[in-house]
């Protein structure tokens, strides 16, 4: 696997969540301890009544705020959202979701990475992954605290790891957003008002 250490300086500038960018972990995937990494981790997020519009409003308000992106298609979310995270890893007491991307971009500097994240709405993807991670850690760690234990999302653009910019995008959705989504996903359909 490629190393993420070479891209650390560029990755720090690649995201700008309102709670601040998650620090790029000082780790190399090549020497990752397999006992603290879980590939293709599945998750389910039960949702009783949440519109894509409500989800979109929350995410655009809190994740890379002020940056243009296409709205989500209108639909009502009800039932189960099922997904798989490419890699969940623990490093120095913090947990990260890592996703591999094979997008071909003109360059792999932070502005291009952020542009790809917004164009493909990976901001929604990594926010839902972070929500799933939050719920998992909340159920497993007795002393769980989002700010202490969640490192964020790392998007590794594979075509860019050996190019200037390093192809690494890192962000951490703010706690306020994750807690609002956690509550919204848990609300019964007759109480589906979302605030954050």
Catalytic residues: 99
Q: Are 99 and 157 in contact (CB under 8 A)?
A: no
Structure tokens at 142: 């007795």
Q: Are 131 and 179 in contact (CB under 8 A)?
A: no
The secondary element (H helix, E strand) that includes residue 148 is: helix 146-149
Nearest Cα neighbor of 65 from 162, 143, 171 is 171
Q: How far apart are CA 155 and CA 101, in angstroms?
A: 7
What is residue 46's three-state secondary structure? strand
Nearest Cα neighbor of 112 from 157, 145, 148 is 157
Determine phi and psi for 30, rounding to 5 degrees: -65, -25
């Amino acid at each position: 696997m490629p190393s993420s250490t070479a891209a650390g300086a560029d990755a720090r500038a690649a995201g700008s969540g309102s709670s601040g960018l998650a620090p790029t972990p000082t780790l190399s995937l090549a020497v990752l301890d397999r006992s603290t990494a879980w590939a293709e981790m599945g998750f389910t997020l039960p949702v009783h009544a949440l519109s894509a519009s409500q989800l979109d409003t929350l995410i655009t308000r809190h994740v890379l705020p002020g940056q243009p992106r296409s709205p989500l298609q209108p639909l009502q979310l009800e039932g189960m959202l099922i997904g798989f995270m490419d890699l969940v890893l623990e490093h120095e007491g913090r947990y990260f979701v890592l996703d591999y991307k094979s997008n071909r971009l003109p360059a792999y500097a932070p502005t291009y990475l952020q542009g790809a994240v917004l164009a493909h709405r990976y901001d929604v993807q990594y926010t839902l992954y972070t929500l799933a991670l939050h719920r998992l850690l909340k159920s497993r760690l007795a002393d769980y605290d989002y700010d202490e234990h969640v490192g964020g999302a790392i998007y590794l653009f594979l075509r860019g790891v050996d190019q200037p910019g390093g192809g690494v995008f890192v962000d951490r959705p703010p706690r306020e957003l994750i807690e609002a989504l956690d509550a919204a996903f848990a609300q019964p359909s007759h109480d589906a008002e979302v605030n954050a």
